[in-house]
Amino acid sequence: PAQLNLNRGGESAATPQQRTVQRAEEKVGRNDPCPCGSGKKYKKCHGT
């Protein structure tokens, strides 16, 4: 059991920690223009 805690970073299951991930930029929609400036839709340009 002590080895398991070491492999998992020593975090206890009784105290879960939540992390909030925030994007620096707004997510591009598939039908929005591609941010590369090509004029194509994102899904046809860099969204593959």
pLDDT confidence band for 2 (50 / 70 / 90): low
pLDDT value for 25: 78
Round to whole Å and give the CA distance between 24 and 19: 16
Q: What is the DSSP string of 7-40?
A: HTTT--TTS--------SSPPPPTTSBPTTSSSS
Two structure tokens written together for 23: 């994007």
For residue 45, pLDDT over 60 is answered with yes
Q: How far apart are CA 10 and CA 5, in angstroms?
A: 4
pTM: 0.46
Write the pLDDT tens digit of every residue in 16-41.
Answer: 678 888 878 788 999 999 999 999 99
